[in-house]
Amino acid sequence: MGDLPSERVHPFRALFHAGVDFFGSFWITHLVRGGAPLKAYGCLFVCLLTKATHLEVVSNLSTEAFLACLKCFISRRELKNLFELQKTKDKINEYCSTESFKWKFIPPRSPHFGGMWESSVEMVKEKINKVIGTKPLTYEELEILSIQIESLVNLRPLTSTFRQSK
């Protein structure tokens, strides 16, 4: 078995090294009657060291929606000083280069490469499905629910995943 990546073993500020994944979809309704339900998605950021979780509700799977989600993540978590993607990757790279991000992509259709955040996605989806089942919520209700679930998930001890030898 190989060594863990350095992001998983060297102490750093929470969410400095994070994995990101989309999950869902969830049905949302308009506040106005008669509007057709729309799909919304969850975007989960998980710290590779402490497993701290950050959730955002996203209205679609477009690059623009992800960038808006990323901006919310940065703003809410005050991550202005993080380190350094063909057509879509270029847009994300352009934004991230101004914010000093560095991206590492896992191979397509290889969720086992992202086991850290995939287990968090499973935990979050289970909690959302227990609360709402198949009932459509408004965007605001889904956002409030995601913030409450984020808080619940982060109640567990947020400690580093490695143990120092004695």
Tokens of 150: 């984020």
CB-based contact 120:46 (threshold 8 Å): yes
Residue 70: closest CA among 11, 22, 113, 122: 22
Sheet arrangement for strand 18-29: 53-58, 38-47, 18-29, 137-138
The per-residue pLDDT string of the chain (166 residues; one tens digit each, 9 = 90 and over) reads: 777 776 666 777 777 788 889 998 888 887 666 678 889 999 999 888 888 899 999 989 998 999 899 888 887 876 554 433 345 566 777 777 777 777 777 766 676 677 777 788 888 889 888 888 878 888 888 899 999 998 888 887 655 554 544 4
| 6-75+108-153, CATH topology level | Nucleotidyltransferase; domain 5 (3.30.420)
3-state secondary structure of 152: helix
Domain spans of the chain, in order of start: 6-75+108-153
The answer to whether the predicted template modeling score (pTM) of the entire model surpasses 0.75 is no
Dist CA 122 CA 78 (whole Å): 26
